[in-house]
Amino acid sequence: MAISDKRYIIREVQAWMDVQTKHYPILSVMGPRRAGKTELIRKYFPHLPYYDLEEDDNFEMISKNPNRFVRDHCMEGAIFDEFHYIPDLTRILKTVSDELLNAAHERDEMAVPTRFVLTGSHNYLFDEKIKETMTGRAAIIKLLPLTLQESGCKDPYDAMYKGGYPILYVNGETPKTFFAAYIQNYLDREVRDIHGIKDLLKFQEFMEICASLAGNFFDYETVGSTLGLKRETLDAWLMVLYSSYIIFFVRGYNKSLMKQMSKGHKLYFYDTGLCASLTRKAKSPEYIKVNPDLKGKLFENLVFSEIWKKNAIQGEYLDSAYFWNITGRGGYEIDIVMEGMMRLKAIEIKSGDTFNPKWFDNMQKHPDLKAADKFVIYTGPTMDVEGGRALNFTDLNELFL
């Protein structure tokens, strides 16, 4: 369990930061609210002045003349938390970074170590103007909720119920109180203030429906009819959740990229605790354990989110993960196909704790998977079995070896 003291959890992504901060004058740390971005950067850069732009005083002081403020107070570096509240900062830091890089090149130095740190809970890469100014000057780090290794959580039902927001592991706050406050803060700060959506009650209902669809295709017709919303609005609201690191999408697998992109996308949550809270059914770990539908949905989400977190930790250079859906008569599905450099990995996710050899059956059916490495991820012990390997959910690192 990667915990250094009772107040701070050492994050796996710090090893990737050690590499990136040597080469880029700007470091951007992005991720959902309450994922630990502020704690991480203030521990990592204790010498830099810190400005939280959600605080009115800081916003007023800097927004009046961002260029003068940076030039007068921040040329040795600074941390700007929730920087998207003053988007002009990126243009100014681009200019300053270029000046620093030019000066370094005159000294025959190839890079400038990180001097400015930007954090945000909204993915600015969807803003083309900001994206353009940051390209080539900023290292981008995603900080998502805790991995299982970081939280040290060994019980699958606790992991599904609590999720991975750090505060739940350092001060004893309960998921019930935390997620109620989290959802309200997200609606107020992200949905209303940043995206300008006024009907927060309906947006919360939309989030709850998304939680009920975790691990499935998004049903536009049913959801639109239920909420009285057009497809354009549903697409826009999905993008709000996606851009603020609440949900992600998994594509269907096909050897042809064009066919792969046309197969549709399944929806998952980055954090199973948030997903469980939004279902309004997951009252406790014990309740999840005895509710087969809820247990299966949340366990599948737990595995997929863990894979996505591992990719983020390594700068998204690990194997890509897809689902494989075989349609038509006798159709079946394989939960995950991971496409590596040399060979495929086929993976089934089962929420049981007693291994069943039949779990490998679907992976044996398709000719493209005959030579694939085959795994079952479940809640029982890790072991070699006939046909492949059974992995306990806490041993997912083996998938990336």
Using DSSP's 3-state secondary structure scheme, residue 102 falls into helix
Percent of the chain with pLDDT over 70: 92
pLDDT for position 19: 92
pLDDT for position 262: 47
Find the DSSP H helices in 251-334. Answer: 257-262, 272-279, 285-290, 292-313
pLDDT for position 296: 96
Express each pLDDT in 103-132 by its tens digit.
999 999 888 999 999 999 888 766 676 777
- What's the CA gap between 247 and 127, in Å, rounded? 19
Total length of the chain: 401
pLDDT for position 6: 57
For residue 147, the 8-state DSSP code is P
Q: Which helix (H) or strand (E) holds 40?
A: helix 37-44
Q: Tokens representing 177?
A: 């109180």
Given pLDDT bands bounded at 50, 70 and 90, which one contains residue 2? very low
Given pLDDT bands bounded at 50, 70 and 90, which one contains residue 339? confident
pLDDT for position 320: 75
Res 207 pLDDT > 50: yes
Which carries the bigger pLDDT value, residue 160 or residue 173? 160
* CB atoms closer than 10 angstroms to residue 345: 20
Q: Tokens representing 86?
A: 């003053």
- Residue among 86, 112, 77, 82 nearest 98 (CA): 112
Express each pLDDT in 318-328 by its tens digit.
557 888 876 65
For strands 373-378 and 388-392, give the pairing: parallel
Q: Using CA atoms in the order 361, 364, 368, 374, what is the torsion angle rounded to 10 degrees?
A: 80
Residues 6+ apart with CB under 8 A from 370: 364
Express each pLDDT in 47-65 by its tens digit.
999 999 999 999 999 999 9
Map out the domains of the chain with their CATH numbers: 14-142 (3.40.50.300), 151-306 (no CATH), 320-400 (no CATH)
pLDDT for position 256: 55
Express each pLDDT in 126-163 by its tens digit.
667 677 778 888 998 999 999 999 999 999 999 999 99
- What's the CA gap between 153 and 164, in Å, rounded? 9
Q: Which helix (H) or strand (E) holds 158?
A: helix 156-162
pTM of the model as a whole: 0.92
- What's the CA gap between 50 and 54, in Å, rounded? 12
Given pLDDT bands bounded at 50, 70 and 90, which one contains residue 260? very low
Res 35 pLDDT > 90: yes
Which carries the bigger pLDDT value, residue 2 or residue 333? 333
- Evaluate the CA torsion angle 102, 108, 111, 113 in order and state its sign: negative
Q: Tokens representing 242?
A: 């996606």
